[in-house]
Structure 1
């Protein structure tokens, strides 16, 4: 918290931000201003809500501090920047950026809010270092709706690849370096993003659809049409990384492409060893690299799912309705998760644990930190006061709903 202290205009919001981060690290089953305010010992949630909506502090500067903190402690010359979006199912139409759209967490089209994240993935761990809320075109075309949600007037519509490009360039312009970028088909199918990465001298392994057109010396072909031209020895069994149940082994093959421009360009193909399902990746590297390197980068894409799971489960990432409060909440959730990731990474540099214990995970680090260091204990009066506050607030809300209903029926 000392690293971000200078981003606050007053000491009170700085201290309250520290308490909010502790609440995000807590074992509360649901994390919002109400539950965290009660957990840290405040009488009402109003001060926490003020911190997120109106207090004077620079969330983008804190975001930059989080990025610097992560890179400093997880530094890896072969790090991969993974771009991906995550969505959260929402009710109603007032939550900023919400619309009916496909989200991977539900596996279907839902009324949801979607954000794009940039994750720094190195050998010591991974953590989000940037975030951008996806604002659909139907929102940016409605000035009144944007104003009601607190979206800045200068915010224009931007696609998810465009948001990813902004975050990657922000990372590089800050003086940080990463060797590779990985992402799914949303990003691999965008030629502008690929052009920017090539101009910045970055390698990438980006998924593409099977219908993607690939240029070869023999002509242009769909990606899936090239699979039948591969001889059997072209496939190699390689691990895309360790998972919870062991290594993720697939069959892999690579084809050199004839796309113009400097560097080495290839089509990477992954085949499931049990189902035969195929996946395709456009690859670019400033210098020639072995197939194993491309496979390792492709496997880094899955690490972003672990980051989202941890940030939502351990740090309450998926909350808030207005643009300013979403930005601030997401930034502090990234900070909370980055803290757990760095502590875990530092613990792994110590003498190894006994053979019958796995290394500390972020989940176990959180449990130990809250239990041994900051577990708050509140007397019955505090709990009873909060019970009365909730019931009083709920009574006012219920009365308001009944008055509104009565007004519409007359």
Structure 2
């Protein structure tokens, strides 16, 4: 959040934006201003609604900061974020060649509430999408950094955005030590790797029988 802090002229909207992004990164089953406000400890959703509709900050500047962050962290000059205003359709391209547009779009919807907005005005929608992509950009950059600097051993799947979100949520909401959450992450990734290997073996056996 320090990267975009200067885009907010006052402390209050800056704090609200941080709460908003942390809520989007949480494991809430549904994400809207009501649930995000409750997650932040607010008594009403009015503060977050004000952030989306009337607070003074420029979503386009935050989007540009996000694009620069993606280029730096993903080491890809083609990294971009594009929001298509036609029929409020969203086209997301955060990781350039590293991930496809469709995969990134689906991941942003599932992990950061990209499509769970309940707003009626362009400004509120545009700001929601920008902050959702900021949340997903954090997960994508953290995942890429871990894969580049700490490659997974053969018995584990690669560290995904979804797996990054698990320990992040746990570390910000529980008092258990980081080693506990890391151990569960390793267990899940090993289990998923074994399941994938078994699936590929069954596919190969099926193909051999057909041929």
TM-score range, shorter chain: 0.7 to 0.9
Distance 1:50 1:376, change over 3 A: farther
Q: Distance in 1 between matches of 2:168 and 2:69?
A: 19
Distance 1:51 1:84, change over 3 A: closer
Per the alignment, residue 218 of structure 1 pairs with none
Q: After superposition, give the CA deviation of every residue in 1:315-351 in whole Å (9 maximum; x if it has no partner).
A: 1111122111001111000100000000000001223
Deviation at 1:66, TM superposition (A): 0.6
Q: Distance in 2 between matches of 1:311 and 1:114?
A: 16
Deviation at 1:3, TM superposition (A): 0.8
Going by fraction, where is helix more abundant, 1 or 2? 2
The 5 A counterparts of 1:267-346 are: 303-318=100-115, 319=117, 320-346=119-145
**1:307 counterpart SS class:** helix
Larger Rg: 1
Deviation at 1:40, TM superposition (A): 1.4
State the TM-score, normalized to the length of structure 1: 0.40
Aligned residues: 173
Q: Distance in 2 between matches of 1:20 and 1:352?
A: 32
* C-alpha contact (below 8 Å) 2:7/2:61 kept by paired residues: yes
- Structure 2 unaligned runs (5+)? 176-211
State the TM-score, normalized to the length of structure 2: 0.74
Q: Distance in 2 between matches of 1:13 and 1:42?
A: 14
**1:2 counterpart SS class:** coil
- Structure 1 unaligned runs (5+)? 86-95, 98-112, 127-302, 378-410
Per the alignment, residue 49 of structure 1 pairs with 49
**2:149 counterpart SS class:** coil
Q: Distance in 2 between matches of 1:12 and 1:315?
A: 22
The 5 A counterparts of 1:392-403 are: none
Q: Distance in 2 between matches of 1:7 and 1:82?
A: 18
The reply to whether residue 350 of structure 1 matches residue 149 of structure 2 is yes
Deviation at 1:376, TM superposition (A): 6.9
Match for 1:375 among 148, 173, 179? 173
Q: After superposition, give the CA deviation of every residue in 1:32-85 in whole Å (9 maximum; x if it has no partner).
A: 0000100111111111111111111111111111111111111235x4769796
Match for 2:89 among 78, 100, 115? 115
Q: Distance in 2 between matches of 1:83 and 1:13?
A: 24
Q: After superposition, give the CA deviation of every residue in 1:234-259 in whole Å (9 maximum; x if it has no partner).
A: xxxxxxxxxxxxxxxxxxxxxxxxxx
Going by fraction, where is strand more abundant, 1 or 2? 1
Q: Distance in 1 between matches of 2:83 and 2:11?
A: 35
Distance 1:59 1:348, change over 3 A: same
* C-alpha contact (below 8 Å) 1:83/1:117 kept by paired residues: yes
**1:341 counterpart SS class:** helix
Q: Distance in 1 between matches of 2:174 and 2:16?
A: 15
* C-alpha contact (below 8 Å) 1:39/1:376 kept by paired residues: no
Distance 1:306 1:336, change over 3 A: same
